[in-house]
Chains A and B, each alone.
Chain A
């Protein structure tokens, strides 16, 4: 199968979603390898998804939480268990946070992430095979379209990747992000 630039631009979104047939996928990748324009479009589109998908884009204004909470309180029936409820919630939340913190510390062994801004993984199966770019900061599932430098990737276990400070990809490893 041979594809041209128009075919690539039409399918680029489906390609990044992993929603193209294997034959078409191979043809698209072969074309992109030899076409600087299409490679630029692919990289840029992938970056758009990455940037806008980042949780830092979901910043709330100062005082937003307090005002929202106040509005809710004004509009809900009072309960006798109010005070007791908050104590229980607070204790449960602290317990969950503590357990997660301990688990994370035992998994990572206190390793510093290569990127200070990346989010550490949580519950990644240690033996899972992942790939990393030599000079990258992120580990991915094999075949993830968000791997940047595919020519210089290395396969290792998730445990090794985390020990070396790599953080999980926000797209292909989304379910393992601790703060997504």
Chain B
């Protein structure tokens, strides 16, 4: 989100460290100031997992409250943003588990063999990066829909690594899986998304964005 700060920026890092010290010293009201630069990332991580705007906002609030209540457990050697995202993802996963606890069918897609090779279905070339198209809400919506169509285990890995920019190790640690599984799922997630998006993004998006609601352009 434009205007958001990154915790790798030394000036921001320094400001963050001072905030953390003051919050630990009892100035609790400063906690929102610490969270504010990452609230977009928190909401986006929650939304990608629960796939429902109302639940995503609720999960975001719960995650921030949990981070506040457990703030003493935050270790300064890790980034605050990473810690906050990890709490958010766990909160979102718990919400999904609760919602689907009564179902006998697992919500994850176990039909596909995770270890098997993935063969791309579409070979349309897609050279240009149409990043300007992200200014359009319809495009962001299309990307969100494509992501939501992935199986849970692929979506979670993709969200943490490619959207929240956690490292492979941090992603593995958050999800409680091996780095090997992260890499395998990440490969599949990326290729599946490319298959879903390439036919639409391969040069025809700009002229086809007037499609009717509910109709995917690919």
Residues of A within 8 A of B (CB): 6, 9-10, 12-14, 16-17, 19, 36-37, 39-41, 43-61, 64-65, 67-69, 71-73, 75-77, 79, 81-82, 85-86, 89, 92-93, 96, 99-100, 115, 117, 119, 122-123, 148, 174-175, 177-180
Contacts and interface: CB of A to CB of B under 8 A. Distances in A.
Contacts of A50: 129, 131
Contacts of A81: 27, 29
Interface residues of B, number: 73
Interface string B1-44: 11111101111100100110010001111111101100111011
Contacts of B15: 92-93, 96
Interface stretch (B90-98, B101-109, B194-202, B206-214): B194-202
A100 B193 CA distance: 37
Contacts of A99: 11
The secondary-structure label for the interface of chain B is helix
A55 to B, nearest CB: 5
A153 B41 CA distance: 34
A117 B135 contact: yes
20 contacts: A6-B117, A6-B119, A12-B190, A40-B123, A43-B126, A44-B126, A47-B130, A47-B197, A47-B201, A48-B194, A49-B162, A57-B143, A59-B140, A64-B39, A64-B57, A69-B32, A76-B28, A96-B11, A179-B2, A179-B3
Nearest to B124: A40
B129 A47 contact: yes
A45 B194 contact: yes
B40 A44 contact: no
B1 A59 contact: yes
- Residue picked from A10, A45, A47, A148, most chain B C-beta under 10 Å: A47
A64 B40 CA distance: 9
